[in-house]
Amino acid sequence: MIEYRNLRIALLGAGSVGSQVARLLLENRDELAARVGAGLDLIGVAVRDIDAPRDTAIPRELLTTDASTLIQSADIVIELMGGIEPARQYIQLAIASGADVVTGNKALLATHGPELFDAADRVGAQLYYEAAAGGAIPIIRPLRDSLAGDRVDRVMGIVNGTTNFILDRMDVEGDTFENALAVATELGYAEADPTADVEGFDAAQKAAILASLAFHTAVPVESVHREGMTTVTAAQIDSAQKAGYVVKLLAICERLVDPETGIEGVVARVHPALISRMHPLAAVHGAKNAVFVQAEAAGDLMFYGAGAGGVETASAVLGDLVSAARRHVAGGPGTGESTHANLPILGIGAVITRYQLTLIVTDKPGVLAQIAGLFSEHGVSVEAVQQTVATASAAGSASESDALTATLVIVTHEATEAALAATVAAVSANDAVVRVESVLRVEGETP
């Protein structure tokens, strides 16, 4: 048997994931060589500061601040620096010098993916990115390879561990958002500035990556409809629980036909939503992630696990490295990025889903009928109404303060976002409505 020469591996970045990749690559050298059919030589690790403290020690002679020279000597470059620049130019340099690339850089792929895939395609290089969405969870390869013969209709994921931790604590412990965020920060899940997580930016980047793969269409992150979860209250969680739902921050990517225009396209969105406590995603607790995929032939599939963490994410990176290395040994063109479908990207207005509205209304005869009439006028069908105990009004005027108010929780049948928005506007303008407390989308089946 012909022995393949050892492959030269360059690592860019030695943070929590990078340092674990270096450790596992060095510790499991023989086993990885057996799986690949060639040795994997870690020839260098490019870092900004050679003396910076690291999660796990890397032999000093491997560390360098000269990323460009390292890249140009490598067969496979692993980019784990994060951020847009200089990661983008280093990946371009790697592709131009004939290397394959493994990256976990979701921000870069969600904003510059097409440019990098084109550059790789032009020279027959491969770009692997299992670690860019869902950490350790294998979801990129299932969408790209395992489901390549099927038609994916919908991907619905909990793809941000920090926000799932917070919402789960609010649900299980009855905690407020502020307390749950403080615990997430103390435990190291949330960053000092949690904006990227709680406002849904991180999940939107992952949604763009998953939608692009699922629908063979380049979906830029700017086209992902994004709402954060900072406005979710303990009262909403409580009312969701009573109705058999749980609130999750969901990334939903779906193929649908715009009811206005009849055009088939793709919508990607990130927002808090109610899902039935019987749905598999409701069982995703703590900081875990999961992605629920609905495909025409395969039916429902779910992928679950650690969405972050140094050693966990290193598993995804090493899986990609082994794939890239095997291709060097076996030869062949590899898999190009597939965007042939090039479906139109539709706005949030095309989405059809169910909604839960919580209204504070004055408790007097005829109010329920009036409100039901407004739903009916806008073509939104009511599935369930729950009225809870009337309390003394907190509203401002003297006459209102004498009146009693009631809380109405209305769950609708499926409606378009446009019809729902018109209904909410009409309901808000009605004299009997003290305020619209909240509007949440409801995804999946009724409990």
Q: Which residues bind ligand HSE (CB under 6 A)?
A: 160-162, 189, 197, 202, 307-308
For residue 312, the minimal CB distance to ligand HSE (Å) is: 11
- Choice between 273 and 433, CB closer to ligand HSE: 273
User: Is position 288 annotated as part of the catalytic site?
Assistant: no
Q: How many whole angstroms separate alpha carbon 162 and alpha carbon 372?
A: 38
**How many Cβ atoms sit within 10 Å of the Cβ of residue 403?**
17
For residue 113, the minimal CB distance to ligand HSE (Å) is: 16
For residue 159, the minimal CB distance to ligand HSE (Å) is: 7
- Choice between 36 and 181, CB closer to ligand HSE: 181
| Lookup: tokens for 366 | 């005829």
**How many Cβ atoms sit within 10 Å of the Cβ of residue 339?**
18
For residue 287, the minimal CB distance to ligand HSE (Å) is: 7
End-to-end CA distance of the chain: 60
Of 127, 108, 107, the residue nearest 117 (C-alpha): 127
Handedness of CA 426, 432, 438, 441 (dihedral sign): negative
- Choice between 194 and 334, CB closer to ligand HSE: 194
For residue 307, the minimal CB distance to ligand HSE (Å) is: 5
| Lookup: tokens for 230 | 């900072």
Of 236, 266, 237, 231, the residue nearest 252 (C-alpha): 266
* Phi and psi, residue 33, nearest 5°: -60, -40
- Choice between 151 and 285, CB closer to ligand HSE: 285
For residue 24, the minimal CB distance to ligand HSE (Å) is: 19
Which residue in the list 106, 206, 248, 288 is annotated as catalytic?
Answer: 206
For residue 197, the minimal CB distance to ligand HSE (Å) is: 5
CA distances from 95 to 218, 244, 324, 356 (A): 20, 51, 13, 49
For residue 55, the minimal CB distance to ligand HSE (Å) is: 16
For the chain, the C-alpha Rg in angstroms (whole number) is 25
| Cα 104 to the center of its chain, rounded Å | 14
- Choice between 150 and 312, CB closer to ligand HSE: 312
- Choice between 78 and 166, CB closer to ligand HSE: 166
Mind telling me the catalytic residues?
206
